[in-house]
Amino acid sequence: MRNLQGRLDLCSVNTATLGHREPLSVTIDRIAAAGFGGIAPWRHKVENANVAELARQIRAAGLNVTGYCRSTYLPAASRTQFAANIDANKAALRDAATLGARCFVMVVGGLPEGSRDLDGARAQVIEGIGELLETARDCGVPLALEPLHPMYAADRAVINTLAHALDICAELDPGRTGFLGVAVDVYHCWWDPALRASIARAGQEARLLAFHVCDWLRDTRDLLLDRGMMGDGVVDLAGMRGNVERAGYNGLIEVEIFSKENWWRRDPGEVLRICADRLQTVC
Ligand code: ZN
């Protein structure tokens, strides 16, 4: 397991952690100046700006793009909408390539409005990923399936465990081309009794594309926007990073904190300083 002391170059900041309050160009400079080695930007900030210019700025700042967030949800109530969702993801994959992203983060979507067809939604997800895989290869950007905690199955993602994501990878990419894998986010996966085995399997199958950290607060007040700072909650972060790295993960450790009432209200410079400290002391 790598020692993160003095190694912020092995750490990345997902820009959501700073609450999307400033232009991305400002955030890029902040993250680089704080000494981090990577950044994970979000589409709504990139798509409202000049992608090529942002890509140049990120490269000039010496930052790796650890992931591009995130996919348009795939399941749809109509074939027309499904096709539109695929097209939106293809466009995003091209931007991910321009940014030099190490992966395109796939939060695959929940049930279409009014639907009770969970199996159908999962079938659409498999079909959609299959279609996007070709574009991912053309663009040179792997798809990272991010299983979400099952509490989000209705509205955000019908892939809910790491094993589930790995099964889909095996089905769609049996040759292990390197263009389909998983993003392991501690917030979504920490509770899973099969997690250790699934992480080992992900390593054996060469699927580990990203590792996201934050913490699960025991007295969490909001199931989307009250993620904790590393060390403030119940997750054995060092244990999880050890498992992921023993499985072969050698990419950056990405901080991703959605925290409307706490961290998003604090000074961005302070948030980055505390992230840096916790990464080196509790992760
Ligand atoms: Zn994540």
Looking from the CA of 24 toward its CB, the CA atoms found within 13 Å total 23
The pLDDT of residue 32: 98
> Quick one: which of 76, 170, 156 has its CA closest to 108?
156
Residue 255 CA to ligand 1 centre (angstroms): 8
Q: What mean pLDDT do residues 91-112 have?
A: 98
CA-to-CA dists, residue 217 to 15, 17, 130, 233, 281, angstroms: 21, 16, 36, 4, 18
Confidence of residue 115 (pLDDT cuts 50, 70, 90): very high
User: What pLDDT is attached to residue 81?
Assistant: 98
Distance between Cα 256 and ligand 1 center (Å): 6
Contact between residue 98 and residue 51 where contact means Cβ atoms under 8 Å apart: yes
pLDDT computed for residue 132 by the predictor:
98
pLDDT at 232: 98
Residues of the chain with pLDDT > 90, as a percent, come to 100
Report, as an integer, the average pLDDT of 255-281.
98
pLDDT digits (tens, 9 = 90+) for 188-202: 999 999 999 999 999
pLDDT band for position 90 (cuts 50, 70, 90): very high
Confidence bin at 178 (pLDDT 50/70/90): very high
Residue identified by tokens 């589409």 is: 43
225-251 confidence digits (pLDDT tens): 999 999 999 999 999 999 999 999 999
At residue 216, the pLDDT reads 98
- What rounded mean pLDDT belongs to the chain? 98
Taking the centre of ligand 1 as the mean of its atom positions, its distance from the CA of residue 105, in whole angstroms, is 8
Distance 125 CA to ligand 1 centre (A): 18
How far does residue 146's CA lie from ligand 1's centre (Å)? 7
Kindly give the distance from the C-alpha atom of residue 139 to the centroid of ligand 1, in angstroms, as a whole number: 22
Q: Report the pLDDT averaged over residues 117-134.
A: 98
Residue with tokens 């993620």: 227
Enumerate the domain spans of the chain.
Answer: 8-281
Q: 187 C-alpha to center of ligand 1: Å?
A: 8
* Distance (Å) from CA 148 to ligand 1 centroid: 8
Contact 148, 190 (CB under 8 A): no
User: How far is the C-alpha of 222 from the C-alpha of 95, rounded, in Å?
Assistant: 32
Rounded to the nearest whole angstrom, what is the distance from the C-alpha of residue 84 to the centroid of ligand 1? Answer: 24
pLDDT tens across 128-169, in order?
999 999 999 999 999 999 999 999 999 999 999 999 999 999
How many angstroms is it from 101 CA to the middle of ligand 1?
15
Banded model confidence at residue 29, pLDDT cuts 50, 70, 90: very high
**pLDDT > 70 in the chain, percent:** 100
Task: Quote the ligand 1 centre to 81 CA distance (angstroms).
Answer: 25
User: CA-CA distance, 184 to 240, in Å (whole number)?
Assistant: 10
CA 258 – ligand 1 centroid, Å: 10
- Specify the DSSP element, H or E, that contains 181: strand 180-185
Question: How far apart are the CA of 164 and the centre of ligand 1, in A?
Answer: 16
Name the band, by pLDDT with cuts 50, 70 and 90, for residue 87: very high
Ligand 1 mean position to 34 CA, how many Å?
21
Find the angle CA(50)-CA(52)-CA(57) to the nearest 5 degrees: 95
CATH 3.20.20.150 fits 8-281, yes or no: yes
Q: What spacing in Å lies between the alpha carbon of 228 and ligand 1's midpoint?
A: 13
Distance 58 CA to ligand 1 centre (A): 21
pLDDT for res 246: 98
CA of 233 to the centre of ligand 1 (A): 17
